[in-house]
């Protein structure tokens, strides 16, 4: 597997992460840690692995052109830079092995239902007694406490219950979820931030802690200005399609040959737009001069602008507005996104090449750190690919001990 030509310094070198999470929020968080050098051990069910391995099509293509049914595009998006170990938690020897790994870990991440790991002796209280410096991150749908703690939770439930769907969609239309799992992804990001803060505390004091983070808590926090609007004046934010509740104009406009986004965030940008389109009078109109006036007179202004741009060629208008620093852009398809020159210039896509010749494309971590950048060392692992190596590295188990664990069914190594 390919990595960077010269290995950079890694911010999380030496940090050991035991990843008991599946699907998206947990794996998204641990992928961030892995990208910056943490040794992330992904614990998977022997044979089957993470549920998302089968969430396809599409699946990764093997050298003979056939699909690999355990390598879905979904799974590949959030599991690079990890090593996979296949352990049966329901096997007492497997659970005991997890406890030994937890004793060596700096961080444990899990997203089982509340109390789900207690029967295996893998809950926070049990593992804290073994490793008091450990950061233990529990990701659930609704938190460790509260009225919904016992319920299973998925992204769409958090988007709905957290108010996101109520403010997403066309004005006058029905509620819509986002096109990607925003509650899961936001929770994964927040989990990674929380883990790093707790790790800093543990490194200073030797004191670990449990992090309780839920999809619904995070989705409510992600309401941001919309939630604040309700808390400040009691109003009910509503669906506005592509429009912004407090910034105008900030939406899509139909040109002669396509759709253009115009997102004007201040008065000087509005003035520049009006001058460029030959309507300097609009910039002096008291109904539109100030941002607050444009919000009050939104419908009139947007209709006026629609009439102004309807006959324009989209890309020509985009170039003209960009020259005068008016924020604008096309509404791209995903295909158009990955064909954009931005992708190569910003190194947005990293392509691994496995030993079997299979190319595995992934979207890079977006932050460009000058001294400790993300480092792409391992393509997303196959189930149990590193079982023996991990047990040797973390626990120094010898060949006889490994053979015994494999014979008992507690551990499986992926066949070469």
Neighbouring CB atoms inside 10 A of 330's CB total 16
Beta strand 82-87 with 39-44 is parallel
Give whole-number Cα distances, 392 to 386, 396, 398, in Å.
10, 4, 7
For residue 166 the two structure tokens come to 């109520």
- Angle 47-50-53 from CA coordinates, rounded to 5°: 90
Q: Which residues pair with 328 in a beta bridge?
A: 262
Could you say which DSSP state residue 167 is in? G
Identify which of 185, 23, 29 has the alpha carbon closest to the alpha carbon of residue 107: 29
CA distance 361 to 351: 4
368-375 long-range contacts (CB < 8 A, ≥24 apart) are: 369/11, 369/36, 371/9, 372/8, 372/9, 372/10, 372/11, 372/36, 372/37, 373/8, 374/35, 374/36, 375/3, 375/4, 375/7, 375/8, 375/10, 375/35, 375/36, 375/37, 375/81
CA contacts within 13 A on the Cβ side of 94: 23
Q: Tell me which of 35, 39, 184, 375 is the catalytic residue.
A: 184
Does the annotation mark 184 as catalytic?
Answer: yes
Helix (H/G/I), strand (E/B), else coil: 351? strand
Helix (H/G/I), strand (E/B), else coil: 269? helix
- Sorted by sequence, the CB contacts under 8 Å of residue 151 that are 6+ apart come out as 141, 142
Contact (CB, 8 A) for 274 and 324: no
Contact (CB, 8 A) for 40 and 19: yes
- Angle 221-204-139 from CA coordinates, rounded to 5°: 35
Q: Which helix (H) or strand (E) holds 193?
A: helix 182-205
Could you write out the three-class secondary structure of 273-295?
HHHHCCCHHHHHCCCCCCHHHHH
Q: Which residues are catalytic?
A: 184
């Amino acid at each position: 597997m390919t990595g960077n030509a010269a290995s950079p310094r890694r911010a999380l070198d030496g940090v050991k992460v035991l990843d008991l999470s599946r699907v998206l929020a947990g794996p998204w968080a641990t992928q961030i840690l892995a990208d910056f050098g943490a040794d992330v051990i992904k614990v998977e069910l022997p044979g089957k692995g993470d549920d998302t391995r089968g969430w396809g099509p599409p699946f990764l293509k093997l050298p003979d052109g056939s699909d690999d049914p355990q390598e879905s595009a979904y799974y590949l998006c959030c599991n690079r830079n990890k090593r996979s170990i296949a352990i049966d938690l329901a096997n007492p020897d497997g659970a005991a092995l997890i406890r030994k790994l937890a004793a060596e870990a700096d961080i444990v991440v899990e997203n089982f239902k509340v109390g789900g790991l207690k029967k295996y002796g893998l809950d926070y209280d049990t593992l804290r007694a073994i490793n008091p410096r450990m950061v233990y991150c529990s990701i659930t749908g609704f938190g460790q406490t509260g009225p919904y703690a016992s319920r299973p939770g998925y992204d769409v439930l958090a988007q709905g219950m957290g108010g996101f769907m109520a403010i997403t969609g066309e004005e006058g239309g029905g509620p819509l979820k986002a096109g990607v799992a925003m509650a899961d992804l936001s929770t994964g990001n927040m989990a990674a931030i929380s883990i790093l803060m707790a790790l800093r505390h543990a490194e200073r004091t030797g004191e670990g802690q449990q992090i309780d983070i839920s999809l619904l808590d995070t989705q409510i926090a992600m309401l941001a200005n919309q939630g604040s609007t309700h808390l400040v004046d009691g109003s009910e934010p509503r669906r506005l399609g592509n429009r912004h509740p407090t910034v105008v104009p900030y939406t899509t406009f139909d040109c002669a040959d396509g759709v253009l986004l115009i997102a004007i965030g201040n008065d000087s940008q509005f003035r520049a737009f009006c001058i460029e389109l030959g309507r300097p009078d609009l910039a002096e109109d008291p109904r539109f001069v100030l941002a607050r006036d444009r919000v009050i007179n939104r419908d009139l202004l947007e209709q006026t602008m629609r009439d102004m741009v309807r006959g324009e060629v989209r890309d020509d208008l985009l170039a003209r507005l960009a020259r005068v620093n008016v924020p604008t852009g096309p509404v791209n398809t995903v295909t158009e996104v990955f064909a954009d020159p931005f992708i190569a210039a910003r190194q947005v896509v990293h392509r691994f090449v496995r030993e079997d010749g299979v190319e595995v494309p992934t979207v890079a971590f977006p932050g460009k750190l000058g001294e400790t950048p993300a480092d792409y060392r391992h393509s997303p692992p196959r189930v149990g690919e590193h079982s023996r190596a991990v047990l040797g590295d973390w626990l120094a188990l010898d060949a006889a001990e490994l053979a015994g664990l494999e014979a008992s069914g507690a551990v499986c190594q992926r066949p070469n």
